[in-house]
Amino acid sequence: MIGRGIGYGKPKGTLGMRPLIAGNWKMNGLSASLAEVAELARALETQPANVDVLVCPPFTLLTAAVAAARNRMGIGAQTCHASPSGAHTGDVSAEMIKDAGGVAVIVGHSERRQGYGETDADVAAKVRAAWRAGLHPIICVGETEAEHDAGHTLDVVKTQLGGSLPASAGPMSATVAYEPIWAIGSGRTPSHEEIAGVHHHIRKSLETLVGPAAAGVRILYGGSVKPANAAAILAIRDVDGALVGGASLKAAEFLPIIEARS
């Protein structure tokens, strides 16, 4: 656990887990963007430490972001290769992310599933790689707009989860992010009832898949979370935090989202 950490979801009264607010910078950020991490770190010094914060910049900024974060937040990566090393030109292993100071890795983001054909089995292999290297995996699941409109959301999410999550006997260091693909970067979000329903379904599916370990898995919502809607989304039952794309790029936009749950 580093700084505010992102380890096992810690029980917090009867309200559920200590929340995690994670930022996914995607393919954005040059060295000048490290000022955003530094600003975030400065602001978090005066925040109550009751929320875990993670920023996932591109690989090129990983080491420098760890330094800029000054243990005020975790720094993670956006994907990893399943092998620890070898002839995989252009790839980065979980061990390399750990060595650079990363604490977590996003796996199975829809942009990887759709853009690179990553399957549930690929995602499960990356989760195992993350565990092998001592990283915390954030496993993304979510339906397309067509699947949503056809009423298949719960089936799609359950199938993705079953295929992407290796069985685990003990306490499990993992987070699940529910990210409806049609909500990512679109400014649209499901209704609060829909989010509550899907998160409850994910919790029940986790119980079937990994038994009591399910209680320690945080379930984040992702897809067009902004300062204006963060408080309402984060207050939904079974929502243990957020995975934030566009609004995580600037500290001035990301901070109000963190504060919405602090």
Instruction: Tell me whether residue 179 is one of the annotated catalytic residues.
Output: yes
Q: Is 192 exposed, middle or buried (0-12, 13-18, 19+ CB in 10 A)?
A: middle
Residue span 160-199 as binding mask against ligand PEP, x where in contact by CB under 6 A, dash where not: -------------------x----xx--------------
User: Which CB sits closer to ligand PEP, 93 or 248?
Assistant: 248
Q: Does 24 bind ligand PEP (CB under 6 A)?
A: yes
Q: Does 29 bind ligand PEP (CB under 6 A)?
A: no
Minimum separation from the CB atom of position 243 to ligand PEP (A):
5
Count H helices, E strands: the chain? Answer: 10, 8
Record the tokens describing residue 127, joined without a space.
């989760």
Q: Does 79 bind ligand PEP (CB under 6 A)?
A: no
Q: Which one from 109, 136, 199, 201 is the annotated catalytic residue?
A: 109
b/e sequence 58-88, b meaning 16+ C-beta within 10 Å:
bbebbebbbebbeebbbbbbbbbbbeeeeee
Q: Does 80 bind ligand PEP (CB under 6 A)?
A: no
Task: Please pick, from the candidates 5, 245, 255, 257, the single residue that binds ligand PEP as defined by CB under 6 A.
Answer: 245
Minimum separation from the CB atom of position 112 to ligand PEP (A):
10
User: Which CB sits closer to ligand PEP, 51 or 213?
Assistant: 51
Q: Quick check: helix, strand or coil at residue 199?
A: helix
Tell whether the torsion through CA atoms of 166, 110, 193 and 152 is positive or negative. negative
- Cα 6 from chain centroid? 10
Taking CB atoms, the residue at the shortest distance from ligand PEP is 245
- Tell which residue, 177, 176, 189, has the closest CA to residue 233: 189
Binding residues for ligand PEP, per CB under 6 A? 24, 179, 184-185, 222-225, 243-247
Which residues are known catalytic residues? Answer: 109, 179
